[in-house]
Amino acid sequence: MPKPAILAVDDDPQVLAAVRTDLRTKYAADYRIVAADSGGSALEAVEQLHRRGGEVALFLVDQRMPGMTGTEFLVAAAVHFPEAKKVLLTAYADTTAAIQAINKVGLDHYLMKPWHPPEDTLYPVLDDLLGDWWAGHRPAFEGIRVVGARWSAATHDATDFLARNQIPYRLLDAERDEEAAALLEAVQSVALPVVFFPSGTALAQPDARALAAEVGLQVTASAPFFDVVVVGAGPAGLAAAVYGASEGLRVAVIEQQATGGQAGSSSRIENYLGFPTGISGSDLARRAAAQAKRFGAEILTAVEVTGISVDDLSKSVTLDDGSEIRCKAIIIASGMTVRRLDVAGYEKYTGAGVYYGATLAEGATFQGENVIVVGGANSAGQAAMMLSRFADRVILVVRGESLEVKMSSYLIDQIAATDNIEVALGTQIAEVRGGETVEQAVLRKTETGAETVREVRGIFIFVGAVPHTDFLEGVVALDDRGFVLTGPEIGQFGAPPTPWPLDRSPFLQETSVPGIFAAGDVRHGVVRRVASAVGQGSVCLSFVHRYLETV
């Protein structure tokens, strides 16, 4: 496979030579380094690469160039390589232009010249961006293929698992694609979906654990005992894993679905500190998981915790395959489970036009069609913006009378400026209709009861969630809605399952059982934001250390 290109553009010969040298020193082994001394010559190189079937991973472009500015070049180059990462080189006086370019061309980063030493200011930025490019890259060579039906719930489950874990795949329609028919004939399978792997393995109707094992995700722990077991790999759980493992603790993280939790399915998080151009939830989760693994944490994927037991000083976590992992301390960061709605047609079409959440892969399948997003908080707004890139029309259905109650103002402004997003306030879905797939949605005004029928092909639901704490019932104190009580809250909602056994009071994030802690959305009364969850996960380790000092 030919190397993807990194294209550097600067009209100053000395700067261009320095950029070329720095790029070749670090990246020549894996990338083709292309340098151009003007926007025009760079655009010629881009067009030539495109004609030859090449790929561009990253543009590193000076803003001030005669004839064509860096921003103008990036606009033109994006026609050929829209997924390439974009970095603008600016002088101090050009930072305003760079910030404007964030909105105009989706700029990923800007660097002020000079950037030396590159080890401190250039390479870390490019490493992250190139990592993001590879994570979203769909290689030309043959990889995982899923043969199924677009409107099959089982096919959706398989592709959703792969997408949320950022495993590249190609979906082939079993009824329309000749390649799909040939593949199915070769394995003589009538059970769909069938997942074909580059190794030659084919799995018919695989469950999440079988998929995880085959794509190389860890599904079993390397040892029977750890210092800390973290239940859940959302922002709180990953933060706890990073800080715990970096401080020398043996940490295992157990995740039922995919790293990132609910935040991992967000198409764009634009108000997270340190990312001025925003970052997708999946990219944030991928970076955090890689960071945790680098420090030695183990992340088990497609593994569910079914129970927890406590024996004096040690604790045991029971998994869905019947095995157990023992540990000294547990951090509950299991987050929330999407709340299912009782609407006529939802159950019938779940996975076949009705979806709880939305990934980029799902959005791309609704090119040119009408879809509905249900919900009025940030997750719904982010999904509406993502789907607007593909769908002909996005109808944002909101039960309340205003978006301002639950949605950030930056998202409200973006939605208002997007022509193909329609906001239906004071509205709910009364019924979903169709044949084998969704064809219509009946919208009902909450105040008047008036109904309208809209032609739609997809409905994406973001209407809140309930705490994922079924496995904790009878173990630790929960409030009346199932959220975990910690610290001074314990005892406020009835007696805990067992009396507090120690002379000291529970630590701030400690549950009613010594040595079992909680972080993130699963806790009672917390602010449910990514930054808050990360903070709780990291701070929780200080309480874990204080607990471990006493056992």
For residue 193, say if its preceding peptide bond is cis, omega within 30 degrees of 0: yes
How high is the pLDDT of residue 107? 84
Q: How many domains does the chain have?
A: 4
Which 3-state string (H, E, C) describes 67-106?
CCCHHHHHHHHCCCCCCCEEEEEECHHHHHHHHHHHHHHC
Domain match, 284 and 311 both: yes
Where helices occur in 265-398 by DSSP H, the ranges are 281-294, 346-349, 360-364, 378-388
Domain match, 128 and 11 both: yes
Q: What is the rounded CA–CA span in Å between residue 495 and residue 50?
A: 67
How high is the pLDDT of residue 268? 79
Burial readout 181-203 (b: 16 or more C-beta within 10 A, e: otherwise): eebbeeeebeebbbbbeeeeebb
How high is the pLDDT of residue 451? 95
Domain match, 16 and 114 both: yes
Which of 160, 193, 214 is the last residue before a domain boundary?
A: 214
Residue 220 placed within a domain: no
Where helices occur in 82-234 by DSSP H, the ranges are 95-105, 118-121, 123-136, 153-164, 178-187, 208-214
Q: What is the rounded CA–CA span in Å between residue 494 and residue 317?
A: 25
Question: Are 153 and 352 within 8 A, CB to CB?
Answer: yes
The CATH number of the domain holding residue 152 is: 3.40.30.10
Domain match, 473 and 326 both: yes
Domain match, 354 and 435 both: yes
How high is the pLDDT of residue 523? 96
Which of 88, 108, 136 is the last residue before a domain boundary?
A: 136
Domain match, 496 and 474 both: yes
Residue 219 placed within a domain: no
Describe the crossing of helices 70-77 and 39-51 by its angle, rounded to 10 degrees: 10
Domain match, 124 and 158 both: no
Domain match, 66 and 209 both: no
How high is the pLDDT of residue 5? 95
- The parent domain of residue 191 ranges over 144-214
Question: Are 380 and 374 within 8 A, CB to CB?
Answer: yes
Domain match, 239 and 351 both: no
Domain match, 332 and 471 both: yes
Which of 136, 170, 200 is the last residue before a domain boundary?
A: 136
The CATH number of the domain holding residue 496 is: 3.50.50.60
The CATH number of the domain holding residue 105 is: 3.40.50.2300
Both structure tokens of 244: 């715990």
How high is the pLDDT of residue 79? 86
Domain match, 194 and 171 both: yes
Residue 248 placed within a domain: yes
CA proximity to 508, closest of 475, 458, 547: 547
Domain match, 47 and 103 both: yes
Q: Tens place of pLDDT for every residue, the chain, 551 residues?
A: 678 999 999 999 999 999 999 999 999 999 999 999 999 999 999 988 887 778 999 999 998 888 898 888 998 998 889 889 999 888 766 667 767 777 777 888 888 877 778 898 899 999 999 999 998 886 654 578 899 988 888 998 999 899 889 898 888 888 888 888 878 887 876 789 999 988 888 999 999 999 999 999 999 999 999 999 999 999 999 999 999 999 999 999 999 999 988 787 777 788 888 888 888 888 999 999 999 999 999 999 999 999 999 987 789 999 999 999 999 999 999 998 877 778 888 889 988 899 988 877 778 889 999 999 999 988 899 999 999 999 999 999 999 999 998 899 999 999 999 999 999 999 999 999 998 899 999 999 999 999 999 999 999 998 877 899 999 999 999 999 999 999 999 988 888 999 999 999 999 999 999 999 999 999 999 988 899 999 999 999 999 999 999 88
How high is the pLDDT of residue 30? 93
